Structure 1
Amino acid sequence: EPDAGALAHHVYEAPRGEWESTLAQIWAELLEVERVGRHDSFFALGGHSLLAVRLMNRVSALGADVPLATLFASPTLAAFAAVVSAQLNQQTSALPEITPVPREGVLPLSFAQQRLWFLAQLDKTSANYHIPFVLHVRGPLNRVAWQQALDALLARHEALRSTFVSVEGQPQVQLLPADTGVPLRWHDLRGVPDADAQLSRLTADEVHAPFDLARGPLMRVCVIQLADDTYQCVFTQHHIVSDGWSLEVLIRELSALYAVSVGAQADPLPPLTIQYPDYAAWQRQWLSGERLQTQSDYWRATLADAPVLLELPTDRPRPAQQSFAGAHVPVQIDASTTQALKRLSAEHGTTLFMTVLAAWSAVLARLSGQDDLVIGTPSANRGHAAIEPLIGFFVNTLALRVDLSGEPNTSELLKRVRCTTLDAQAHQDLPFEQVVEIVQPPRRLNHTPLFQVMFAWQNNEIGQWSLPELDVKPGELNYDMVRFDLEMHLYEAGEQITGSLHYASALFDPTTIERHVGYLKTMLQA
């Protein structure tokens, strides 16, 4: 019996015409495959939603503005090329170019930054919006070169040099000078008797120490030396200047800059044509008028009369004010179930994310007794080719309203979830905070507005560190802050789906959450 791998490729037929050839080259590059035939499907070849966004950016740069849903409706090369070519003949407007703005005047915040700045004013000592990660490094780490590489990264990305000052109660961005440098703390624990305890304490202090948004820099690094050739590096950034996609950029560029500093290579990084403040100014100009109205109307209609709270059974009463203390349990979906889910997804024209979301929705509906539920999901929001190489806070949150009324079967539920997800992605430009303003859900201090369950599908595209003469591995970090009652984080690792279910420990016991994970596995297998 042929395995799923044998079904991904049809008999090879070479691309025809200019558009098929151009797109075949782009697909081959993005999907890292040797060649793409006319009848190959983007998703069968390994495409997922983040790669789809990158594909749309490439298509947009060629002058065609097609919605993401087009790729799902026409996933083969020939069909997609036909739609793109037809679209190009009908239209004149792709996304307008992002151009540099003067740095002398007032620099605006992006909508996403404005939301985080407001939240930070409510609690200035909170570490809820820190992005920390840990690296274990073995080998001769060059201290001077490491500082130089970090400083060069800070000089290169204006987002990392942004500070947020209040002028008459309104925030403005001010940029630190390019030669500011990254705060780098260095601790030597060689020969210290209680080194493990010290390591835990230093790491925790580093991750939780508050940032001053008005002074900056909003990124810092701490290196803890454990032996002559063993180090732990702790990076902490404030979310207002970074996001998940940014980490991939940081890893790639810091690797290159360190190699330059130790003399292993010449500087390979091309200059950046625009910076984050240019994007923030462009976003405010672009998202206005009719475009703003269309997006606002969609979310107002979609979330009208949505349930205020997903009433999951909890182990303890909900506290009067939301607690951000959390914990997590691992989630592992075995290879055979993952393979079967991929086949199911291919049959129904869904991504793996949509299929697992459908199953998780069904579980939450059973647990809560509600057949109308809203689940949040982060969206990379990098729908413009010019912002792909930037570090900055672009990510947006989409509120997906899933309808489980009328006891839908698998096929019907997948269809509903696919429609909901594609529609939301087509209207993802409106920042989540503006969606909340439009929908006006009742505000309560004991839970988040619009949804209390987050489902994040990490496409695990975090790059690989390559530092000359050093062996670098990501480390585990004890940083359990949750912003919602439940947060499911999953990604594909090899043949399996893996990740964790984070939960608010004020509401749930670990055994309850382990049971929830068991329910999800049962639902996925069924």
Structure 2
Amino acid sequence: DLDAGVHRALLAVARERRVTFFMVVRAALALALRPQRIPLSAAQLRLWFMDRLEGPSATYNIPVVTRLHRPLDPAHLAAALGDVAARHEVLRTVCPAHEGEPWQQVVESARPVLELVRADGPDAVRDAVDTAAGHVFDLAAEIPFRARLVTGGDGSQTLVLLVHHIAGDGWSTGCLLDDLDTAYRARAEGRAPDWAPLPVQYTDYTLWQHELLDGEHGVAEEQLAHWRTALDGMPPLLALPTDRPRPLEGDGAGALTGFEIGAGVHRDLLRCARAHGATLFMVVQAALAAVLTRHGAGTDVAIGTTVAGRADDALHPLVGFFVNTLVLRTDTSGDPAFGDLVRRVRATGLAAYSHQDLPFDRLVEHLSPDRSAAHAPLVQVMLQVHAAAGGGGPDTPSVLDGDAVGFRSTGAKSDLTFALTELAGADGAPGGLRGVLEYATALYDEDTVRLLARRLALALEAFAADPGLPLSDAPAGQDVPARGAATETVLDERGRPAAVRVPGEVHTRGADGTLRPTGRRAYPAADGTLRPVATLTAGGYPVEPGRVEAALLSHPAVTGASAEVRDGVLHAQVDLGPGAATEAELRAWAAERLPEYLTPARVVTGPVSAAQAAEGPAPAEPADARVDRLLLLFAEVLGGRRVGPEDNFFRTGGHSLLAVRLLNRIRAELGQDLTLRDLFRNPTARAEEVVLRTDPASTEDLGEEEQQPVHPGVGGLGRPRARRPRPARPSPPSGTTAPPRARRVPDADRSPAAGPRAARGAPRSPGPAHSSGTTAAPRARPRAPTGSSRWAFCRPELPGGLPRGRRGRP
């Protein structure tokens, strides 16, 4: 996926360092001999796993919604949809599971559903669109492609094409629309489309990918070795201050805000990129890293992006899920000049792009042993920069021409996702950048996100004009609050009054008027108040002792609590009143109320001695028979590895697919049902035994209907329990995290749009519908929650931005 810009950058580095780059010769992608059960691709497997973890939702839908310029004949459209599904096997593929492992089953006779809906008035049309965009696919039994044609009272038509992300990506929508246009024209003429056969199908790609990674000359080990070195010691969580404490399990809700960069700044950014042998994406990445550092993220900044994953020309016309996520680590230490930071970014970026074949999920399995439902692994901030549409005259008219229609969004896949799209004038000259910032509403307020977007725009303007500017001199705008500042104020690293949300050291003003440092860190909020910033870390995570103490104090037997970090490990000490509570019980209590990384390694009564701190977790209580049985199952799934009652499943070699196998074995051997989120929250045999012993939602207590797995052949996964909140994604499926191209939608209450590219949607009230076509019958499934936004974006995953204290109870 090396485009011209990256290729030039590689050559520049080669000349600079007097080295030669050698391209690895790979086996050609061709039609493959298919086994009885075709495995899922790496990206598909992660998405299937997320569907199991989160439960039914429309989060990973890709809707393409268009208010058509010319009406379509429903019969011709239904036939054309069938033609497209016949051409692209992935659009008629379901994903059943055999002994807990999913596989691709191509359904030869399946045709996509076409719903015909009449809707009188704009509100009814919007409802019909939202319902269609929010359809919840049953991946095991329902093909991942359907459509709805909504006819308004005035005769106008709105077409909703819906593809589940397991069968498509942003690039795929262009392929789908082109083929649907061709097929419709042919059907309107009374004939079948006479297109040339596709060189390969998605199943061929899947088998080729498995061989590429793990075959005789597989690249997985070499690329994993690169990433192991490149990401060694990287913090597991970006320490960017949030407006609210990070919840145990995020609700996935999100919203969008927009921002724009002028044409003049766009030209300066391109000039800066050329001067440093870099791409526009690299320049924007450097500026974003600088902004994040200044706002408290530290100097070791991980930013994610996506690459198209279509290096072979045979994949260009295919519908399918090919994208992959790359981790771009940025070192902003030493307050370098911006131009120097761009050089750092270029060097790490080129190394990342040359090792892009390794699926993101392999990185997670091997390099992220600490799994948390509270945040995505490795990267929580995503960046996309998309090239302007190519010139060369008007596009060929299509029967699907129309205007993009907004629809409701379901949420955010990352904490923050910055997506910028280049604009071009009629002459092809740089026309500015249009940006969208998608954010998790559980963490951030709209005002905060708007401030971050504005500061990124200001930083891009300043750095483009003067690449010699140090990072700390990036402008923050007129955001310094009027603090009646006489008693306490915050100074940044240069000793200047800190701008809103810029952390610094708190100073107090003495009687003689001089400022004295306190050793505490905080940032000023917009209202002038000071918000504390975590200064302690445990296992690389920022630690908030007060939150840990509050969780322990909520236990009825605890009268006092304090938390501290010793040698990088979090410990807690408690005072107990009437009643008894063991360390294991108190740790379990905390684990139910805190993210995994804030759960103390030890909870003891009285002061924590140095010896206790060095010992780590207290010796486990005598294991009962069920713990022993769980240990046998852990060891079986982990290939015979010796496991103790307190050993973390994911730190001892477990990963997502093995987690599914473990839950299947627990169901088969113990007759009880645990969910994937149970395992993420309680990853040891002893903790799982407590869940099995105390949770009333186990299989033996469920009604007959609830004992059934969501999908046939997937025992032991169970339905997500109603009492538990929907978890944040432990890891976004490769390449699904960025909402790219932005455009404004007139209706201020509506969100990501859909024209030739699209994003996600969620349902509102269903409307009357008539179906045309057949598919495997889906089960009824719950609907996902709705959200709203005022921006629309489309979703072409082009190569990652390449050009194209102690407390007492009262």
TM-score (norm 1): 0.80
Aligned partner of 1:74: which letter? L
After TM superposition, give the deviation of residue 227 of structure 1 in Å. 4.0
Deviations 1:450-486 (A, max 9, x none): 1111112233659968334x64122223214211110
Q: In the alignment, which of 423, 427, 430 is matched to residue 493 of structure 1?
A: 423
After TM superposition, give the deviation of residue 265 of structure 1 in Å. 9.7
1:161-240 alignment, distance < 5 Å: 161-177=92-108, 179-189=109-119, 192=120, 195-240=121-166
1:362 aligns with 2:299: no
Deviations 1:113-155 (A, max 9, x none): 1111111111331222111221111323221121122111100
Task: Give the distance between the partners of 2:62 and 2:340, measured in 1 at CA.
Answer: 38
Task: Give the distance between the partners of 1:231 and 1:395, measured in 2 at CA.
Answer: 32
Q: Closer, same or farther in 2 for the Cα pair 1:236/1:451, shift >3 Å?
A: same
Deviations 1:9-35 (A, max 9, x none): xxxxxxxxxxxxxxxxxxxxxxxxxxx
Q: In the alignment, which of 243, 264, 271 is matched to residue 197 of structure 2?
A: 271
1:114 aligns with 2:45: yes
Task: Give the distance between the partners of 1:423 and 1:448, measured in 2 at CA.
Answer: 23
After TM superposition, give the deviation of residue 326 of structure 1 in Å. 0.6
1:325 aligns with 2:262: no
Task: Give the distance between the partners of 1:264 and 1:413, measured in 2 at CA.
Answer: 60
Equivalent pairs counted in the alignment come to 447
Q: In the alignment, which of 242, 263, 266 is matched to residue 338 of structure 1?
A: 266
Task: Give the distance between the partners of 2:194 and 2:294, measured in 1 at CA.
Answer: 53
1:407-426 alignment, distance < 5 Å: 407-426=335-354
Q: Is the 8 A contact 1:466 1:472 kept in 2?
A: no
Q: Is the 8 A contact 1:324 1:482 kept in 2?
A: yes
Q: Closer, same or farther in 2 for the Cα pair 1:376/1:156, shift >3 Å?
A: same
Task: Give the distance between the partners of 1:459 and 1:241, measured in 2 at CA.
Answer: 24
Q: What is residue 43 of structure 1 aligned with on the other side? A: none
Q: What is residue 282 of structure 1 aligned with on the other side? A: 208
Q: In the alignment, which of 5, 11, 18 is matched to residue 74 of structure 1?
A: 11
Q: What is residue 365 of structure 2 aligned with on the other side? A: 437
Q: Closer, same or farther in 2 for the Cα pair 1:265/1:521, shift >3 Å?
A: farther
Task: Give the distance between the partners of 1:238 and 1:471, measured in 2 at CA.
Answer: 22
Q: What is residue 311 of structure 1 aligned with on the other side? A: 239
Aligned partner of 1:395: which letter? V
| SS of residue in 1 equivalent to 2:249 | coil
Q: What is residue 90 of structure 2 aligned with on the other side? A: 159
Q: Closer, same or farther in 2 for the Cα pair 1:424/1:492, shift >3 Å?
A: same
Q: What is residue 448 of structure 2 aligned with on the other side? A: 512
Q: Closer, same or farther in 2 for the Cα pair 1:270/1:349, shift >3 Å?
A: same
Q: What is residue 31 of structure 1 aligned with on the other side? A: none
Q: Is the 8 A contact 2:234 2:300 kept in 1?
A: yes
Task: Give the distance between the partners of 1:465 and 1:429, measured in 2 at CA.
Answer: 34
Q: What is residue 314 of structure 2 aligned with on the other side? A: 386
Q: Is the 8 A contact 1:124 1:210 kept in 2?
A: no
After TM superposition, give the deviation of residue 499 of structure 1 in Å. 2.5
**Bigger shift: 325-334 or 104-113?**
104-113
Q: Is the 8 A contact 1:377 1:399 kept in 2?
A: yes
Q: Closer, same or farther in 2 for the Cα pair 1:308/1:149, shift >3 Å?
A: same
Aligned partner of 1:221: which letter? A
Aligned partner of 2:210: which letter? R
Deviations 1:392-418 (A, max 9, x none): 000000011111011111111010111
Aligned partner of 1:153: which letter? V
After TM superposition, give the deviation of residue 229 of structure 1 in Å. 4.1
After TM superposition, give the deviation of residue 382 of structure 1 in Å. 0.9
After TM superposition, give the deviation of residue 219 of structure 1 in Å. 1.2
Aligned partner of 1:411: which letter? G
| SS of residue in 2 equivalent to 1:74 | helix
Q: What is residue 35 of structure 1 aligned with on the other side? A: none
Task: Give the distance between the partners of 2:161 and 2:54, measured in 1 at CA.
Answer: 22
Q: Is the 8 A contact 1:482 1:504 kept in 2?
A: yes
After TM superposition, give the deviation of residue 371 of structure 1 in Å. 0.5
| SS of residue in 1 equivalent to 2:241 | coil
1:475 aligns with 2:405: yes
After TM superposition, give the deviation of residue 356 of structure 1 in Å. 0.8
Aligned partner of 2:335: which letter? E
Aligned partner of 2:37: which letter? V
Task: Give the distance between the partners of 1:361 and 1:101, measured in 2 at CA.
Answer: 43
% same residue: 35
Q: Is the 8 A contact 1:130 1:238 kept in 2?
A: yes
| SS of residue in 1 equivalent to 2:320 | coil
Q: Closer, same or farther in 2 for the Cα pair 1:465/1:148, shift >3 Å?
A: farther
After TM superposition, give the deviation of residue 351 of structure 1 in Å. 1.1
More helix by share: 1
Task: Give the distance between the partners of 1:482 and 1:227, measured in 2 at CA.
Answer: 34
Aligned partner of 1:329: which letter? T
Q: Closer, same or farther in 2 for the Cα pair 1:290/1:261, shift >3 Å?
A: closer
After TM superposition, give the deviation of residue 510 of structure 1 in Å. 1.0
Greater C-alpha Rg: 2
Q: In the alignment, which of 462, 466, 485 is matched to residue 397 of structure 2?
A: 466
Task: Give the distance between the partners of 1:144 and 1:394, measured in 2 at CA.
Answer: 32
Q: In the alignment, which of 503, 515, 524 is matched to residue 439 of structure 2?
A: 503
Task: Give the distance between the partners of 2:213 and 2:77, measured in 1 at CA.
Answer: 40
| SS of residue in 2 equivalent to 1:408 | coil
Q: What is residue 94 of structure 1 aligned with on the other side? A: 25
For structure 1, list consecutive stretches of 5 or more residues without a partner in the other structure.
Answer: 1-49, 56-67
Task: Give the distance between the partners of 1:311 and 1:201, measured in 2 at CA.
Answer: 40
| SS of residue in 2 equivalent to 1:360 | helix
Q: Is the 8 A contact 2:149 2:160 kept in 1?
A: yes
| SS of residue in 2 equivalent to 1:119 | helix
Task: Give the distance between the partners of 1:413 and 1:483, measured in 2 at CA.
Answer: 28
Q: Is the 8 A contact 1:135 1:472 kept in 2?
A: yes
1:398-409 alignment, distance < 5 Å: 398-409=326-337
Task: Give the distance between the partners of 1:96 and 1:492, measured in 2 at CA.
Answer: 35
Task: Give the distance between the partners of 2:291 and 2:248, measured in 1 at CA.
Answer: 27
Q: In the alignment, which of 134, 143, 157 is matched to residue 65 of structure 2?
A: 134
Q: Is the 8 A contact 2:96 2:140 kept in 1?
A: yes
1:148 aligns with 2:79: yes
Aligned partner of 2:107: which letter? L
Q: Is the 8 A contact 2:328 2:348 kept in 1?
A: yes
Q: Is the 8 A contact 1:376 1:400 kept in 2?
A: yes
Q: Closer, same or farther in 2 for the Cα pair 1:525/1:424, shift >3 Å?
A: same
Aligned partner of 1:363: which letter? V
Q: Is the 8 A contact 1:308 1:441 kept in 2?
A: no
Aligned partner of 1:123: which letter? E
**Bigger shift: 254-263 or 384-393?**
254-263
Higher relative contact order (CA closer than 8 Å, sequence separation 6+): 2
Task: Give the distance between the partners of 2:316 and 2:243, measured in 1 at CA.
Answer: 43
Q: Closer, same or farther in 2 for the Cα pair 1:454/1:199, shift >3 Å?
A: same
Task: Give the distance between the partners of 2:305 and 2:398, measured in 1 at CA.
Answer: 33
For structure 2, list consecutive stretches of 5 or more residues without a partner in the other structure.
Answer: 425-430, 463-810
